[in-house]
Amino acid sequence: MNHRHHLMRLAALLLTAIALPAPAADATRVEFASLDQDHAFRLSGTLYLPEGASAPSPAIVLIHGTGGIDSRGAYYRGPLLGAGVAVLEVDFKTGNYTSTADRPPNDEFVPAAFAALKRLRQTAGIDPARIGVMGFSMGGGITVRTALEENRKRWLGAEPGFAAHVAFYPVCRYFIAKVAHSSGVTGAPMIVFYGSADAYGEDEAVPELKALLKKRFRFELTTVEYPGATHGFNLDAPPLSYADPAARGGRGYMAYDAAATADSLPRVLAFLRQSLAVP
């Protein structure tokens, strides 16, 4: 590790320590089922409520990557709670798949994400009009798909969808065709974080998606690119190279980028403060 990288990593750790609030006063396990009876996933999650909330709180449905719940959720969850945003961290993996070999397509998890939204809207202390969704990789792919109006209408009917969408490296090239053949997006604000060295081609796909949304639907997608960052840049773990036919050259690669991770945190909080009207 060179001196510059060591300093960036130390800075990120210090920022995390400063940003993290005291543990939430209330953490409750919740269980619910997908809205899709043809793919009847049984789901669970942990609902974290911010301490001392005197009015109904805005909330986020937090969706992990293929590997399941990991340190990424905890990294953002603490500051979100400190900002007064409740978090429902869902577990889509347990009991539903074990690896990439048997993982259902992202589209099959969309009604499960909407089920989490409905579950939160039935929860005391949550403002039903101020619920967003945030996810990493697989969770990011689910996050952007919930922004399609046809998906919202299919699974929620007249009920409004998510009020905000935060997606980390959602593998946009598989989403572009769906947007191109869709009737539109819900209009809720959306931000996508990605690295220029993403093995799944986000350096090309995210700008293409941004241009497509603007041209077809006059929708302004907010994007944040981190030069040199890879897929999974905010997962604090050793670098990993792995076989994946969906990646360029059939090889996926992930490496932690402390500077990009630290930069993304205040951007997420600022985006949600504005889109969810957080004081």
pLDDT tens digits along 94-145: 888 888 788 888 899 999 999 999 999 999 999 999 999 999 999 999 999 9
What are the φ and ψ backbone dihedral angles of 27, each rounded to 5 degrees? -130, 120
What letter represents residue 161's amino acid? G
In terms of Cα–Cα distance, which of 212, 131, 198, 130 is closest to 170?
Answer: 198
What are the φ and ψ backbone dihedral angles of 230, each rounded to 5 degrees? -105, 180
**Where are the chain's structural domains?**
3-275
Show the CA angle centred on residue 163, arms to residues 87 and 187, nearest 5°.
150
CA distance 198 to 252: 8
Q: Tally the C-alpha atoms within 13 A of residue 205's C-alpha that lie toward its C-beta.
A: 23
CA distance 258 to 109: 30
Average pLDDT estimate for 64-80:
95
Model confidence pTM above 0.95: no
Task: Write down the pLDDT at residue 102.
Answer: 82
Q: Domain 3-275 - what CATH class?
A: alpha beta
- Of 75 and 19, more confident: 75
Q: What is the pLDDT of residues 159-182, one digit of tens each?
A: 999 999 999 999 999 999 999 999
For 130, 163, 181, 215, the CA distances from 135, given in Å and listed in that order, are 17, 14, 24, 25
Q: Tally the C-alpha atoms within 13 A of residue 26's C-alpha that lie toward its C-beta.
A: 14
User: Quick one: 196 exposed, middle or buried, by C-beta within 10 A (0-12, 13-18, 19+)?
Assistant: middle
In angstroms, how far is the first alpha carbon of the chain from the final one? 40
CA distance 265 to 279: 17
- Report the chain's mean pLDDT, rounded to a whole number: 90
Is residue 85 within 8 A of residue 276, CB to CB? The reply is yes
Task: Write down the pLDDT at residue 2.
Answer: 39
Task: Write down the pLDDT at residue 53.
Answer: 80
Average pLDDT estimate for 44-72:
93
Q: What is the pLDDT of residues 193-217, one digit of tens each?
A: 999 999 999 999 999 999 999 999 9
- Of 55 and 63, more confident: 63
User: Quick one: 121 exposed, middle or buried, by C-beta within 10 A (0-12, 13-18, 19+)?
Assistant: middle
Task: Write down the pLDDT at residue 16.
Answer: 38
**The two three-digit tokens of residue 58, written as one number:** 């805005």
CA distance 229 to 149: 31
Task: Write down the pLDDT at residue 48.
Answer: 96
Task: Write down the pLDDT at residue 1.
Answer: 38
| Interstrand relation of 42-49 and 86-91 (parallel, antiparallel or unpaired) | antiparallel
Task: Write down the pLDDT at residue 245.
Answer: 82
